[in-house]
Amino acid sequence: MNADNKGVRGHGWLLVLLLATFVIGTDDFVIAGVLPEIAADLDVSEAAAGQLVTVFSITYALAAPPLAVLTARWPRKTLVVGGLAVFAVVNVVTALAPAYAALMALRVLAALVAAAITPAVFGMAGRLAAPERVGRTMGVVAAGLTMSLFAGVPIGTLLGSAFGWRSTFAAVALFTCAVVAAASVLLPRLPGAPELGVGAQLRALSRPAVLLGVLGTVMGASGGLMTYTYIAPITHDLTGRGGTLVALSIAVVGVAGAFGTFAGGRLTDRWGADRALLFTFGVQAVATAGLAVIGLLGQGSAPVWLLLTTLAVWGFGGWGFNPPMNTRALRLAGDAGTEAVALNTSGLYVGIALAGALGGVALELHGGLGPAVAASVILLLTLSLMVISVRRFPSGDRAPADLGAPQSMPSSH
């Protein structure tokens, strides 16, 4: 069967790819939920324990593009299954880490493996899907990351609170083993990219169209994730309430984000990646500006329903633009599509780091209103950049296979 043109029958492979992003996302984000337990057990400050998050993000951001180039010709199933197996081993060893330095080194190793697997997973989704279903397929795979935020992380946090932080990583390792077993059976064999040579790959990645997309991801993540990073002070300072309302706000964003991810994929297939990208990102930018207006006019006593509604719209748009963004990257980069997704994901992690730094400054200066206003300005600028990028470099309606992906494969994260 010509998988690149017709899609692979059955949905087992798609479920496996979703579970792959779910387990990687859980491992990445769950650290935040068990920081107190790690700090107490390893006798370090919570600030020092927090650097485990920083080192993971920095490592991922730096490693994803070169790893994608180096592994471009590896068979996709071998890369994903083998990478997940290594990921499981790393988490087993993490659960046994004797000291803070060892744990720090293991987070670097986990980030390296995640950086190699995740772009390959999205690349596989784009190539295995039927051309008319590429967007929704990318949405399903991206939903694994969203689900990790409101399902994997809370469960891991509860395990850490009840049985210690080591049990959290043991659980991640166990679940990863289950995903490895499923991937071994359900993932079809898929060859790597044609031999382009490093020079040709770098030329593809240095196209203005690709680089503008990455810049948009960096800016969009810095503005979008700023709201999520500082959702607790934003919720408190806009409504005068905290505690359970913060938890409810996070839950609302997570559920809305899941719907947004699926919707973003469907819109990509219906409208094309460019229009879907501008729409979903525009929704996020308008909702973020709405939070700033609520803060400016509400004087710290905004209605809870208004805040939650705005956050729901924000979550829908914020996660909804992931499928069209990755689909656009795949289409613009042609044979170097997986490498372009890696570069885009690297930009995401750079944006996350900027969100924490810039949002922290805004919070210190203006309280919870500060991050909302700063994020609004960044996102409106980003939206303008994306409009220019889409008009200057339209991706068209072609599926990844039409841009030079391998045209045949035997059908067997």
pLDDT tens readout for residues 304-330: 999 999 999 999 998 888 889 888 887
- Measured from the Cβ of residue 200, the count of other Cβ atoms closer than 10 Å reads 13
Domains detected in the chain = 3-192 (1.20.1250.20), 200-396 (1.20.1250.20)
Q: Please give the C-alpha separations between residue 374 and each of 29, 150, 307, in angstroms, as whole numbers.
A: 24, 26, 18
d(CA 186, CA 412): 8
pLDDT at 400: 41
pLDDT at 204: 63
pLDDT at 195: 56
pLDDT at 85: 97
pLDDT at 205: 66
Q: Please give the C-alpha separations between residue 309 and each of 256, 287, 288, in angstroms, as whole numbers.
A: 10, 9, 12
Predicted TM-score of the model (pTM): 0.76
Contact 111, 60 (CB under 8 A): yes
Of 356, 378, 48, 52, nearest in space to 231 by CA: 356
Please give the distance of CA 86 from its chain centroid, rounded to a whole number: 21
d(CA 406, CA 50): 43
pLDDT at 201: 60
pLDDT at 4: 46
**pLDDT tens by residue, 129-140:** 888 888 888 888
- Measured from the Cβ of residue 132, the count of other Cβ atoms closer than 10 Å reads 12
DSSP assignment letter at 33: G
pLDDT at 153: 82
Residue type, 57: S
CB-side exposure of 230: number of CA atoms within 13 Å?
34
pLDDT at 196: 52
| 272 token code pair | 């094309």
d(CA 207, CA 129): 26
Q: What burial letters (b/e) apply to 13-32, b meaning 16+ CB within 10 Å? A: bbbbbbbbbbbbbbbbbbbe
Residue ranges in the chain modelled with pLDDT below 70: 1-10, 192-205, 243, 334-337, 397-413
